Chain A
Amino acid sequence: MRIDKDLVAASATPLVLGILSDGDLYGYAILKRVSELSGGGMQWTDGMLYPLLHRLERLGYVSSSWGTSEAGRRRKHYAITPAGRDALAERQQQWTVVAEALRQVWRTQGSPAPMEGWA
C-alpha cells in the first residue's frame, strides 16, 4: 500500500526524530529504517531527506558530525539533541490525539480500523 504524499510529508519529522532517538545514523540508514518500519509503504524521494535533516539541524533538533564509512568515504552522521527529544515528545502527543480521533471515527463507521504503527 502506498501512503499519500501529504501524509508522508507530515510524518517525516517525527519519524526521523523517532528513528534517531534509538541511536545515531546516517542518511541512507535512516531511509532504510523508514522503509522497514512501514513495510515498504512509505516511499520518500531519497534526495529530499537531506534538506529535511539540514532543517532539523538548523532548528537544533539534531546535530551532525562527519565520519568515515566502511569503504572509507566521508559520511555524515546525525544524532538527536535534547531539544530534538522535547520536540519529538510534543509531536508524539499531537499524533496520539490525531490517531485516537481517527480510531473513534473508524469505529463509529463500523469498519475495521487499519491503524498500525501510527500512534
Chain B
Amino acid sequence: MMEQHAELEAQIDRWRGYVQRSQAISPADVDELEDHLREQIADRQATGLDDDEAFLVAIKRLGNLDAVSREFAREHSERLWKQLVLVPEASDGDTPPWRELAVVLALAVGAGVAVKAGFALFGDSTALTRNLGLLIFPFLAGYFVWKRRLTSQVAAMLLIPFAALAVVLNAYPFASGGSTEVLAALHAPVILWLLAGVAYVGGRWTSDKRRMDFVRFTGELAIYYTLIALGGAVLIALTLATLQVVGVDFEPVLEDWILPFAVPGALVVATWLVEAKQQVVENIAPVLTRIFTPLTVAMLLVLLAVIATAGGFVDIDRNLLILMDAILVLVLCLLLYSISARDSLAPPGLFDALQLVLVVAALAVDAAMLTAMLTRIAEFGSSPNKIAALGLNLLLLVHLLRAAWLAVGFLRGRRSFASLERWQTRYLPVYGVWAAVVVVIFPPVFGFL
C-alpha cells in the first residue's frame, strides 16, 4: 500500500515538473493547482478508485494543460515578460542567493577603484590609455574565475599573458604620443578581450562550441552595455541640467567620480546580466542581425560608390582609411554575431544569401582599401600605422574570402553551416596573435616612435 502511494507521489511530482515549465503559470499557481489535484484524487479514492485511476481522472478533469496555460497567459501576460530573476529564490540551498550579487557589485566597485587609482597614478597621460584595459581586466576575469570555479592551471593561463602584457606596455620606452604607443594602446584590449574569452569558456578554449558561445556573449554584452550606457547618459544629463539650473557645478564630480566608477562598473554588471539571462530570455541577436545586415549592405555599397567616384587611391584621405578600417571591423563583428545567432541545422535561406552579399561587399571595400594602402606605401614609404592597417586588412581579406567561399558552398548545398561556423571560430585567435605582434614587436622594430 505504501509503495502504491509512493508511485502516486512520483506521478504528482512529474506532473508538477511538467506544469512548472509553462512560463505563464507561477510557482504559487502550481501550488494551487496541486492542492486541487490532490483534493480531486482524495475524493476519487474515497469512491473506491485506486491511486492510478484516481490520478488519471483528476488529471483529465484538470483539462488540457496547454489550453489551461494559455488561459493563464491571457490573464497574466506580464509573466511572459518578467522572466529575468536576478536573485533566485533560495531553494537549492547550496549558495546563498545574494552572494552572486554581492560578488558582482564588489567587482564592479573594484574596477572603479582601479581606474580611479590609475588616474591618480598616471594622470591624464597616454600611459593611462595604455593601461586602462589592464586595470579593468582583472575584475572581469575575476568574475569568471569565481563563477566558473576555474582551476589554478587556467588562472595561470590568464595571469602569465596578462603579466607579460603589463610589463611590455609599461617597460617599453615609448616616445610620448608616438604612433607605436597609440597602436599598442589600441591593440592591447584585443588581447585582453581574447584572454577574457579564455576565462569565459572556463579554459576550454580549444572547443569550437565554447568559442561560439563567447562570440554570442560578446554581442549580447555589447547590447546590454549600450542599454546601460544610454540609461546612464539620460540620468546624468537630467541631473546635470537640474543642478545647472540650481547653480551647482556638477561637472567636476561627474568627471572625477561618477564616470571613472560607472564606465568600468557597468561593464562588470553587464557581464553578469548576460550570464544571468542567458537561459531565460531569448537572445536579441537574431532580430538585430536581421535588421542590420541589409542596412550594412546598403552602407557598404554607398561607400564603394563614393570611393569609386573619388578618383585616384593616392588622394584618399588618411582619416578615411582609418574610418573604413573601423567599418570593416564592425561588419566582421556583425557577420560573426549573426552566424553565432543562426540555428546551424536550418537549411540555407534568403538571409544566408543576404549575408553572402554582405561578405562580398565587404570584400570589395577591403580590396579597394588594400589597393589604396599599397599605393600610399609605395608613394610615401611605410610607417607603423600603415603596416598595422595593412596587416589588419590582409587578415580581414583572408577571413572574408574563406567565409565567402564557404557561404557559397553552403548556399549550393555542398557544405554544412557548421563548416562556416568552424572557420569563424578557428580564425579568431589569429587576430589575437596579430594584436600581440603589434603590441610586442612593432615598438622595437620601429624604434618606439
**What is A's interface to B at a CB cutoff of 8 Å?**
26-28, 31, 45-48, 50-51, 54-55, 58, 69, 71, 73-76
B32 contacts A27, C-beta separation under 8 Å: yes
Of A45, A54, A69, which is within 8 A of B63 by CB?
Answer: A45
Residue of chain B at shortest CB distance from A66? B28
Of B28, B32, B63, B76, which is within 8 A of A48 by CB?
Answer: B63
Of A46, A55, A74, A75, which is within 8 A of B62 by CB?
Answer: A46
B288 is an interface residue with CB less than 8 A from chain A? no
> Given the complex of chains A and B, what is the CA–CA distance between A31 and B35 in angstroms?
13
B148 is an interface residue with CB less than 8 A from chain A? no
B296 is an interface residue with CB less than 8 A from chain A? no
- Given A27-B35, A48-B71, A76-B28: 20 more A-B contacts, CB < 8 Å: A26-B35, A27-B32, A27-B36, A31-B36, A45-B62, A46-B62, A47-B63, A47-B71, A50-B68, A50-B72, A51-B71, A51-B74, A54-B29, A54-B76, A58-B75, A71-B38, A74-B32, A75-B32, A75-B35, A76-B31
**What is B's interface to A at a CB cutoff of 8 Å?**
28-29, 31-36, 38-40, 61-65, 67-68, 71-72, 74-76
> Given the complex of chains A and B, what is the CA–CA distance between A27 and B34 in angstroms?
11
Of B29, B35, B65, which is within 8 A of A28 by CB?
Answer: B35
B74 contacts A73, C-beta separation under 8 Å: no
Interface residues of B, dominant DSSP: helix
A28 contacts B68, C-beta separation under 8 Å: no
Of B29, B38, B68, which is within 8 A of A73 by CB?
Answer: B38
Residue of chain A at shortest CB distance from B70? A51
Interface residues of A, dominant DSSP: helix
Interchain residue pairs with CB less than 8 A apart (19):
A26-B35, A27-B35, A27-B36, A45-B61, A45-B64, A46-B63, A47-B33, A47-B63, A47-B65, A48-B63, A50-B29, A50-B32, A50-B33, A51-B71, A54-B76, A73-B38, A74-B31, A74-B35, A76-B28
Of A28, A51, A73, A76, which is within 8 A of B75 by CB?
Answer: A51
Of A26, A46, A73, which is within 8 A of B40 by CB?
Answer: A46
Q: What's the nearest-Cβ distance from chain A to residue B5, in Å?
A: 13
Q: What's the nearest-Cβ distance from chain A to residue B44, in Å?
A: 12
Q: What's the nearest-Cβ distance from chain A to residue B428, in Å?
A: 49
Q: What's the nearest-Cβ distance from chain A to residue B401, in Å?
A: 57
Q: What's the nearest-Cβ distance from chain B to residue A52, in Å?
A: 8
Residue of chain B at shortest CB distance from A49? B36
> Given the complex of chains A and B, what is the CA–CA distance between A90 and B120 in angstroms?
74
| Residues in B whose Cβ lies below 8 Å from that of A55 | 75
B32 contacts A76, C-beta separation under 8 Å: yes
| Residues in B whose Cβ lies below 8 Å from that of A50 | 29, 32-33, 36, 68, 72
> Given the complex of chains A and B, what is the CA–CA distance between A71 and B61 in angstroms?
22
| Residues in A whose Cβ lies below 8 Å from that of B33 | 47, 50
Residue of chain B at shortest CB distance from A32? B43
Residue of chain B at shortest CB distance from A64? B32
| Residues in B whose Cβ lies below 8 Å from that of A74 | 31-32, 35
> Given the complex of chains A and B, what is the CA–CA distance between A69 and B76 in angstroms?
26
Residue of chain A at shortest CB distance from B42? A71
> Given the complex of chains A and B, what is the CA–CA distance between A73 and B38 in angstroms?
10
| Residues in A whose Cβ lies below 8 Å from that of B34 | 73
Taking each of B32, B34, B62, B67, which has the highest tally of chain A beta carbons within 10 Å of its own beta carbon?
B32
Residue of chain A at shortest CB distance from B76? A54
> Given the complex of chains A and B, what is the CA–CA distance between A89 and B336 in angstroms?
63
> Given the complex of chains A and B, what is the CA–CA distance between A47 and B65 in angstroms?
8
Residue of chain B at shortest CB distance from A54? B75
> Given the complex of chains A and B, what is the CA–CA distance between A99 and B94 in angstroms?
61
A47 contacts B75, C-beta separation under 8 Å: no
Residue of chain B at shortest CB distance from A31? B36
> Given the complex of chains A and B, what is the CA–CA distance between A74 and B29 in angstroms?
11
A28 contacts B36, C-beta separation under 8 Å: yes
> Given the complex of chains A and B, what is the CA–CA distance between A52 and B376 in angstroms?
75
> Given the complex of chains A and B, what is the CA–CA distance between A6 and B68 in angstroms?
17
| Residues in B whose Cβ lies below 8 Å from that of A28 | 35-36, 39-40
The 10 A-B residue pairs with the shortest CB-CB distance, nearest first, are A45-B63, A47-B68, A51-B71, A28-B39, A47-B63, A47-B62, A51-B75, A46-B62, A46-B61, A28-B36
A51 contacts B72, C-beta separation under 8 Å: yes
Q: What's the nearest-Cβ distance from chain B to residue A73, in Å?
A: 5
| Residues in A whose Cβ lies below 8 Å from that of B63 | 45-48
Q: What's the nearest-Cβ distance from chain B to residue A74, in Å?
A: 5
Q: What's the nearest-Cβ distance from chain A to residue B40, in Å?
A: 7
> Given the complex of chains A and B, what is the CA–CA distance between A28 and B28 in angstroms?
16
